[in-house]
Amino acid sequence: MRVFLLHRDQDFRVKSGLRDEVFQAMHSSNLFAVEYTKRNLDLERQRNLESRAPRPGSDEVLTQDLELETLWRAMAAGDEFLFEAGRRALLSSLSDSEAILYRQQVLADCLEHPEIVRQLYALALEALDADRTFGSLWSTDRPDWVLSRSVNVLKLHVDVLKRLRQVAEEHAGSFRSEGFTRFFAMLREELPDEYLQAVEQHLRQLEFKRGVLASAGLGKGFKGRGYTVRAMRAHSWRQRLPFGSRGESYSFQLHPRDEIGFKALDDIRGRSINQVANAVAQSADHVKSFFALLRVELAFYLGCLNLHARLTDIGEPICFPDPAPPGEVTLTTEGVCDVSLALHLEERTVGNDIHADRRSLVVITGANQGGKSTLLRGLGLAQLMMQAGMFVAARSFRANVCTGIFTHYRREEDVTMESGKLDEELRRMSDIAEEIRRGALLLCNESFASTNEREGSEIARQIVRAMLNKRIKILFVTHMYDLARGFYAEGLETTLFLRAERRIDGSRTFRLLEGEPLPTSYGEDSYRRIFNAGKTEIAVAAETKR
């Protein structure tokens, strides 16, 4: 049985986990795993959520600048496992537009049938909890204990598999995505009643309630070798009679106080069932791996359901984005908003419309506290969510798939800095330059504003041009008029200029409109708002400063 919920090429067969070839051998030759051929599953092909470890430096910066933990907490709803699943999904962006659409279709099915998805997740948890329960009660040293534990675990797993197949039979027709369609089809086709009944029969035999029938040969020093467990055949009613003929046989009986004899027999029994115990234990481990993988994949979609419910309650617009191929420079959105801000405020935020098709550079300027940083963060979050196969908080969103998403935000000076703020900014940009590659997205927020405007503008200008030459898309928020005006004067069609809207009375609408950069950021507005000061008080403050 395969898992096709996150990636189309995942291949994990439960029949391999249940060791179909072992059970078949037991049925045909009445031998319990005399010969056992290990079949390793190609786990690397699954490319599950743990296939890519987070980048310690870059991912920490991205998490801080885009406030991703707020998003993950909303997805987790208090569950640490869901938090980790959301974290790995957001930081392991898909680079193929078809893979993104595939995951979107699965998520659309989840949104349409949330109760069924939660039921599947609960079944996966039940199977894993059963494995942990028996793991804490049984030792793993002796073969008979290993066998007993594995048989009990497999019994519970088979029961859960039955209920999984029942869910598939009842609800498969309601799901339209390729992922769920193939997943449910595999459940129905590869776990028929006949197969599960055969597995249950073999598990009953493996309990050895009538004892263990084994054979062995003599080796050097009269030591046993080639221990083989054999199936006990049912005797006829004549053979069960005390006087019935059973053919020639040899037997012996131990004295009840013969401790050494019992210990020797126990050792022989352990050697006899050792191969069987190993085969069944690995079967249980593989089936457990299937449920663990199913839990990981469903955890991501369950987190999306939690986030969708939160955003719906707030009233934010939600849509599935349209991912364009990586080579196409595209960014068009209507009503895009900052998810992190909306989750913080627990209310609907102001959305913005952006039309930046074929624009590799977007320069955002305008009044202080006008929504520039909020828009930048909202666009970065939308790009990340799109490339994770999720919905985004917008009425519509279309953007090209990026090879990576990087942020370079202004940092406040703190005790951890080993040098000046400009040196620290240059060092972070150097780290980005080492890792960024063609087709990536770079978000800059007040970069290089720690020095004077002339120097900061020149540094930023050279870096931006170098990035553009490498076909890297840049969204740049800045108050440096020299920088913005210089790019505006070039009149390039590949550059878009947005400006935070400010009304005549100084109030902010938090909307970003197309417009040329202005030489002021209206700092007086911020002063009036914070200190409730008039023009006379501002003039006095300015004179005092001089």
Give the pLDDT confidence of 175-197 residue by residue, as tens digits. Answer: 999 999 999 999 999 889 998 99
What does the block give as tokens for 70?
A: 């707020």
C-beta atoms surrounding 241 within 10 Å = 11
Q: What is the pLDDT of residues 293-335, one digit of tens each?
A: 999 999 999 999 999 999 999 999 999 999 999 889 999 999 9
Helix extents (H) in 400-534: 421-435, 453-469, 481-490, 523-531
Predicted local confidence at residue 274, as pLDDT: 73
Residue indicated by tokens 């040969």? 217
The values of phi and psi at residue 51, to 5°, are -70, -20
Helix (H, G, I), strand (E, B) or coil at 138: coil
Tell me which residue of 191, 189, 180, 185 sits closest to 157, measured CA to CA: 191
CB 336 within 8 A of CB 352: yes
Among the listed residues 132, 149, 156, the one whose alpha carbon sits nearest the alpha carbon of residue 277: 149
* Contacts of 170 by beta carbon, 8 Å cutoff, 6+ apart: none
Say what the pLDDT of residue 418 is: 61
CA-closest candidate to residue 525, choices 501, 507, 540, 511: 507
- DSSP string spanning 150-197? HHHHHHHHHHHHHHHHHHHHHHGGG--SHHHHHHHHHHHHHS-HHHHH
Confirm if 384 and 376 have CB atoms less than 8 A apart: no
Please give the pLDDT value at position 238. 53
Between the alpha carbon of residue 170 and those of residues 184, 191, 224, 373, 488, the distances in Å are 10, 15, 54, 49, 61
Q: Are 231 and 31 in contact (CB under 8 A)?
A: yes
DSSP string, 52-98: SPPPHHHHHHHHHHTTHHHHHHHHHTT-HHHHHHHHHHHHS----HH
Low-confidence residues in the chain, pLDDT < 50: 20-54, 137-138, 536, 538-546
**Distance from C-alpha of 69 to C-alpha of 273, rounded to nearest angstrom:** 51
Question: CA gyration radius for the chain?
Answer: 33
The length of the chain, given as a count of residues: 546
